[in-house]
Structure 1
Amino acid sequence: MSPDRNRIHLAVQKSGRLSEESLSLLKGAGLRLSRGGKSSLSARADNYPLDLMLVRDDDIPTFVADGVCELGIVGQNVLEEYALGQPDRRIEEVARLGFGRCSLKIAAPDSLNFFKLKMLEGQRIATSYPNILRRFLDTQGISADIVTMRGAVELAPRLGIARFICDLVSTGATLDANGLAPVADVFDSEAVMIRTLKPVDAPHRAKMDGLLTRIGGVIATQESKYIVLNAPESALPAISKILPGAEAPTVVPLVGRPGQVAVQAVCQESVFWETLERLKGAGASAILVMPIEKMMM
């Protein structure tokens, strides 16, 4: 399908760990998506001038850098590897999306008594992220041979390809299953929204900004909670300090209860039971915590 130039275009991973959560984010932003089938390389929003291009994750930076897609959702690990290999082709990161969190780590065989990074000196390290790994080794003053692989990196020690590996780790189960243990953190990653730095006309810019505003609202509600409580007016300074990530709360006098107020606040950080206990200890009562379905920042 050739791109419709009256619509904006968003590159998204076709399959894999970021695909499902990326589509869920867009649905949370109110987009109704139509897709031709599982093998289709595109999808269309029925209620917004947006087309999705469903591609390999390591192709997304290229699509955005070339301006084929104005926007993209990609892991920071992929973006950083691309940026180090293509320093003249810049892309702007516009939002961190809060999912797809993982770490690029160096791992060693369980049987090896690894206790310092200098043990990597002169060794072979297999990875799918040679540019990020090379930068890390350079900052540590370590010279090692990097073996670039496109998959199954964790098999490299068993096959004798390399003694160490550098690969993405989320739960660590894959490393454990292959007799490996992480020994160094190289790069932390999560999904990000990126946009092209190619010239974009005013109508397209407005459509992009509208979509980013919606997505920003979805991200803002992921951890945010709406808190309502009653408290003595004298307790307001202490309560305001406890409310996590809240801006100035709304305070309303309670009718027929002199010196008592109702406090309403949007908290943009997690609200734990410990938070409620601290609020109660500061004098709050009738504390109500509610999820926020939509928020426009």
Structure 2
Amino acid sequence: MKKIRIAVQKSGRLNEDSMRILKEIGIAIDNGKDQLKASARNFPLEVFYLRNGDIPQYLRDGVVDVAIIGENVLIEKGSDLQFVERLGFSKCKVSIAVPKSSKANSLKDLAGKRIATSYPNTVQKYLQQNAIDANLHTISGSVEIAPSIGLADGICDIVSSGSTLFKNGLKEIEVLFESEAVLAVSPLISEEMSTILEKIQFRIKAVLKGRNSKYILLNAPNDKLSEIISVLPGMKSPTVLPLAKNGWSSVHSVIDKGQFWEIIDELKASGAEGILVCPIENMVI
């Protein structure tokens, strides 16, 4: 059976997160140090370890079928390529920043100024959309030092925690867009590989749904049952089982991780007791 070829970043945080999600969807990779590619033991898949910026061209040429890549890189170097899944990790922003001492407080203040960036296509398009004329300096790496050495009046780069901007005396004045890892697809992918990709997507959706959900069990007095159930969205409806103690029931449901504490507060106020919350590894829907 032919193997689907997936590209991941050769090293760094995105590589670690990519290999982690492949492991979580049950794909075991035999990869040694400095390998350029490796095969899965239990799934028709082969991993290519590539430089992030080279991945869009490999997709375009059909050298790989799919790739886990930052959306920011796809926008910069692969705007003609499609992605089929947002993966929820390696989140960042692509932002414009200037020295804290700068009088510039908005994008329009950089009209006629110099902007250093590793994302010239992205920045140029954004400037045109906002009718701003600025001079771009394309540089690779260490973009944040450009203003301090007199190379530029501002920069455009990825921002995660903001600590790098802080350390280099910069302030963010414009966010172009937010980015995360995505599953991108080659326009030349075959029907056979598309079928395998569907299986990968199915597993990824189950993992991501599990990451964003919590399983909750609680005890509820029967006279408060309707009120408590109304607080729990569940997948379809909560599971309700009678307890040995007369007049009480056990309620089981799934709640969104982002609403966890708000829901817990409402449940307690409605009379729920013995609330137990468990993580969910995978959730198939």
- Normalised by the length of structure 1, the TM-score is 0.88
Q: Does 1:110 align with 2:103?
A: no
Query: What CA distance in whole angstroms lies between the structure 2 residues aligned with 1:40 and 1:122?
Result: 46
Query: Percent identity between the aligned chains?
Result: 42
Mapping for residues 232-247 of structure 1, pairs under 5 Å: 232-243=221-232, 246-247=235-236
The secondary structure found in structure 2 opposite 1:34 is coil
1:267 to 255, 260, 272: 255
Match of 1:17 among 13, 16, 22: 13
The answer to whether the 8 A contact 2:65-2:189 is kept is no
Q: What is the match of residue 34 of structure 2?
A: 39
Residue 81 of structure 1 contacts residue 129 of structure 1 at CA under 8 Å; is this kept in 2?
yes
> Is 2:125 the counterpart of 1:135?
yes
Contact 1:81 1:131 in 2 (8 A): yes
> 2: CA distance between counterparts of 1:282 and 1:127?
54
Equivalent residues of 1:10, 1:70 under 8 A apart: yes
Structure 2-normalised TM-score? 0.92
- Match of 2:211? 222
The change in CA–CA distance for 1:144 and 1:21 in structure 2 (over 3 A counts) is same
Aligned residue type for 2:88:
G
> Is the 1:124–1:145 contact (alpha carbons within 8 Å) kept by the matching residues of 2?
yes
Distance 2:106 2:82 in 1: 36
Instruction: Sort the Cα spacing of 1:130 and 1:242 in 2 relative to 1 into closer, same or farther, 3 A.
Output: farther
Could you tell me how far apart the structure 2 residues matched to 1:116 and 1:7 are? 49
Q: Is 1:65–2:55 an aligned residue pair? A: no
Give structure 2 stretches of 5+ with no counterpart.
none
1:172 to 151, 162, 173: 162
Which residue type is aligned with residue 77 of structure 1?
A: N
**Displacement of 1:250:** 1.8
Secondary structure of 1:114's aligned partner: coil
Q: Do the aligned residues in 2 keep the contact of 1:244 with 1:271 (CA within 8 Å)?
A: no
In the alignment, structure 1 residue 286 sits paired with structure 2 residue 281 = no
Q: Return structure 1 stretches of 4+ with deviation > 6 angstroms.
A: none
Question: Partners in 2 of 1:245 and 1:149 — Cα distance?
Answer: 50
Aligned residue identity for 1:228: L
What's the counterpart of residue 53 of structure 1?
48
Q: 1:244 to 1:100 in 2, by over 3 A?
A: farther
Q: Which runs of 5+ in 1 are unaligned?
A: 85-89
Tell me the matched-pair count: 285
Match in the other structure for 1:27: 23
Between the aligned partners of 1:241 and 1:125, the Cα distance in structure 2 is: 53
1:276 aligns with 2:271: no
CA RMSD of aligned residues (A): 2.1
Which of 135, 144, 153 in structure 1 is aligned with 2:134?
144
**For 1:296, what is the secondary structure of its paired residue?**
coil
Q: Greater CA deviation, 107-116 or 72-81? A: 107-116
Distance, in Å, in 2 between the alignment partners of 1:15 and 1:284 is: 48
* Correspondence 1:195-234 to 2 at 5 A: 195-202=185-192, 204-234=193-223
Query: Residue by residue, what CA displacement relative to the aligned partner does 1:147-185 show, whole Å, maximum 9, x if unpaired?
Result: 111211112112222111001111122122222111111
Inter-partner Cα distance in structure 2 for 1:268 and 1:16: 30
- AA aligned to 1:163 is D
> How far apart are 1:271 and its partner, in Å?
5.3
Q: After alignment, is 154-163 or 47-56 more displaced?
A: 154-163
